[in-house]
Structure 1
C-alpha cells in the first residue's frame, strides 16, 4: 500500500467510525433527556480523531528512522491522549466533584474507538515495514 493511500485510509476510517459513533452517542444522550452535545462530547470526538491520526502519521513518518522505537512512540501517543484528558476534560468533569457515567463515556468511548483504529493501522504499518526490511 502506498504512503498516501495508507494515510488516507486511516483518516477516512477514523472519520467514518467516529462520526457514526458520535451520532449514536448523541442520540443515546438525547433519549436520556440529556443535552446531545453536553459533557464536551463533540470536542472529545474531534480531539481523539486528531490525536489518533497524528500518532499514526508520526509513526508512519518515523518508521524507517526509529524502527526499534515505534512501540514506545505508540505508547507515548497514548500518554499524550491521557495528558490531554487530564488537562482539558477532567477539570470540567470534576466540577461537580464526581464523574458520572455520561461524562466518563463522553471521553472514553471515542478514546477506545480511536485507539482500536490507531492500533490496527500501526500494526499494518509494522507488518509492512517488516516485509520491506526483513531481518
Structure 2
C-alpha cells in the first residue's frame, strides 16, 4: 500500500469489524444495529459534554445545568434519562427536603471513557497531520 492510498486491506477490516456487511444493507437492519444506535446517541449535541463532566465527578442536576451553557431544562433531562436508560449514568436520590439528585458515571460509563479517549486521540492526531 502506498502512502497516498487510503484503502484499508480487507483482512484488517474483517479483523476489526467482523465478517463485514452484506452487498445490500436493509434500512431496518441498519437502524436496529446496536452500534448505529450507540453512535447516534453519542452524537447527540449534549451527550459527550455531559459524559465528560460526569467523568470529572458526580454532579447535581442544577450544577450540570449551570455548567452547560445553552442547554434547556428539557434537553438536559432528556439527555440524562437516555444516559440512565443506557446504563451509562447512575441517578442517586438523597432523602432531603426537597430530594437531592446526583448523577454520576456508572461502571459502564467509565468503560466508555476508554474508547472515547482513543477517539479523541485519533481526532487530535489527525488534526496535527
TM over 0.5: no
Q: If the length of structure 1 is used for normalisation, what is the TM-score?
A: 0.29
Structure with the greater alpha carbon radius of gyration = 2
Greater share of helix? 1
Q: If the length of structure 2 is used for normalisation, what is the TM-score?
A: 0.30
Higher-RCO chain (CA-CA 8 Å, sequence separation at least 6): 1
